[in-house]
Amino acid sequence: MATANRNRRLQKEIADVHKDTHSGITLTSPTGSPEITDFTRFKGHFVGPPDTPYENGHYEVDIRITPEYPFKPPEMKFITRIWHPNISSQTGAICLDTLKSAWSPVLTLKSALISIQSLLSSPEPKDPQDAEVASMLLTRPEEFAHVAREWAIRYADAPRPGPGSGKTGGGKKERRRQEEREKKKAEERRRREAYRGYNPAMVERFVGMGFAVEQVVAAFEYVGLDKNGGEEYEMEEEYIGDVTARLFGEM
């Protein structure tokens, strides 16, 4: 009786997936046939989400139904190789709460596959399945995006971007992050150049009086203040007076 009830539920789940033409989720037999007669083993299919290194890749997931389903989650692992911190690059094992402690009998194969698809958009490198991939994402995000995209092209049949498309890495989000990093680096470089080798803290004491950095540095240079290799030191009162006078146009 339990097996019959489980199979009826799975038949309904399969029918719901086939009716849904928007999610991009499909279920087939392990051989890829749309005709499913064995309700203990399936193959899940979905497309990699946009604005990720996995965009437009075609991913397959092995699904095994345990006798305890739906009270225990299905066993799922990637068939398609993928470079992702929460998925083993060697075995395809998936680290996802939905397939473990967060599973509920109200969830379905479709909702589980959608959760896996969403995981590609929101990796969790601090709770990894693959430590090597997680370390790369945390310390070298640009390299991670490049490798993930190359794996998507090689193993998931994702299209290779054309020249100038800007999609060789992690999509729009990664490009925005890279642009922000470059902007911050440029700003920091301009600040360092503005101090012309003087210690920033010494310059800022006079900036706090309402003068621009450039004015203070010019005054330092005018009175011949020692740069001291950029290290901070106590200015002599005579120099403080000369710099102040220069700033106020008194010399």
Q: Residues with Cβ < 8 Å from 164, sequence gap 6 or more?
A: none
Q: Is 187 contained in some domain?
A: no
Would residue 95 show up in a list of annotated catalytic residues for this protein?
Answer: yes
Same domain, 12 and 93: yes
Per the structure, the count of domains in the chain is 2
**Distance (Å, rounded) from C-alpha 248 to C-alpha 235?**
18
Which residue in 63, 95, 112, 225 is the catalytic one?
Answer: 95
**CA 146 – CA 178 distance, rounded (Å):** 13
H or E element that contains 183:
helix 171-195
Element (DSSP H or E) covering residue 46: strand 41-47
Task: Evaluate whether 203 touches 221 at the Cβ level (below 8 Å).
Answer: no
pLDDT tens across the length of the chain (251 residues): 588 999 999 999 999 999 988 888 999 999 999 999 999 999 999 999 999 999 999 999 999 999 999 999 999 999 999 999 999 999 999 999 999 999 999 999 999 999 999 999 999 999 999 999 999 999 999 999 999 999 999 999 999 876 555 555 455 566 677 777 788 788 778 878 888 899 988 988 888 888 888 999 999 999 899 999 889 899 898 888 898 888 888 87
**Do both 151 and 200 map to the same domain?**
no
Count CB neighbours of 26 within 10 A.
19
Its domain, for residue 230, covers: 196-247
Q: Last residue of a domain, which of 129, 155, 181?
A: 155
Identify whether 63 is part of a domain.
yes
Residue 176 inside a domain? The answer is no
Q: Is residue 188 part of a domain?
A: no
Decide if 146 is inside a domain.
yes
Distance between CA atoms of residues 120 and 95, nearest Å = 12
CATH number of the structural domain spanning residue 17: 3.10.110.10
With 0.95 as the threshold, say if the pTM is over it: no
